[in-house]
Amino acid sequence: MGDYEEVYPRLSTVYGPVESWRLGRSLGIDLLFVNSICSFRCVYCQLGKINVHTAKRGEFVPTRQVIADLHKSDWRSADVVTFSGSGEPTLAKNLGEAIRAARAITGKEIVVLTNAAHLNDEEVVADLSLADRVFCKLDASDEASFRRINRPVEGITLESVVEGIEKFRDSYKGFLAIQSMYRPYTDAQFESLCEILKDIRPDEVQINTPTRAIPRAWFIEARGNYDETPYPAITPRKVPPEDVEDLRSLLESATGLNVVSR
């Protein structure tokens, strides 16, 4: 996999701030950086190909480098600091250490975007508990759809993901949101999704729509804002705004939760 000093020496583990419809100006921190590393290979992933498909945690970028990159970044103009980057941030064993460092340097609110596949790991839960806000991915309400959309590494199931989020909700004192990529639901799927959401009781449900091109190769610049994709890419089908609003309204009515959309 290489290490930080050998890969993209002119780039930084810190990127942005980028504009986010949920967070305002978000300064990103990429604890993976040396490769695209994730336990999912989502069909809509804006990073392109996930080269390392794994559930194993490791330290890919030393915290000292994150600290150095933060000092050189435009952190003062950011509204929040977000851990996301080149895959699944909870796979970085130094996530908690990096969260503490980012808060000490910037004083900004800390957000972590996660696929929620590793919330059965006590160390992951301890790391995420340090964040002010945690956004958990949940794109499906049945196993077949989960495997087709998120393409998890072997051993991860929809049931294990949902159970992990529910347990985390019980202990976490911060703001918990569920992120869900828009898709049409059958009546049975919609009902099961509503039941899952009511059991989790998140502070917010966010309906996303695919807007970025999907590169056929790993494209590190896709972690932030960019103008052109230097690789062949797939253009996602645009979802009519009225379809998104219909789903948002139905979910809010059926669950009693706060549901927002792009």
Per residue in 90-149, pLDDT tens? 999 999 999 999 999 999 999 999 999 999 999 999 999 999 999 999 999 999 999 999
- Superfamily of domain 4-261, CATH level 4: Aldolase class I (3.20.20.70)
Three-state SS across the chain? Answer: CCCHHHCCCCCCCEEEEEEECCCEEEEEECCCCCCCEECCCCCCCCCCCCCEECCCCECCCCHHHHHHHHHHCCHHHCCEEEECCCECHHHECCHHHHHHHHHHHHCCEEEEEECCCCCCCHHHHHHHCCCCEEEEECCCCCHHHHHHHHCCCCCCCHHHHHHHHHHHHHHCCCEEEEEEECCCCCHHHHHHHHHHHHHHCCCEEEEECCCCCEECCCCHHHHCCCCCCCCCEECCCCCCHHHHHHHHHHHHHHHCCCEEEC
pTM of structure: 0.91
**Domain range summary for the chain, segments of one domain joined by +:** 4-261
Q: What is the pLDDT of residues 212-256, one digit of tens each?
A: 777 777 767 777 665 555 567 777 778 899 999 999 999 999 999
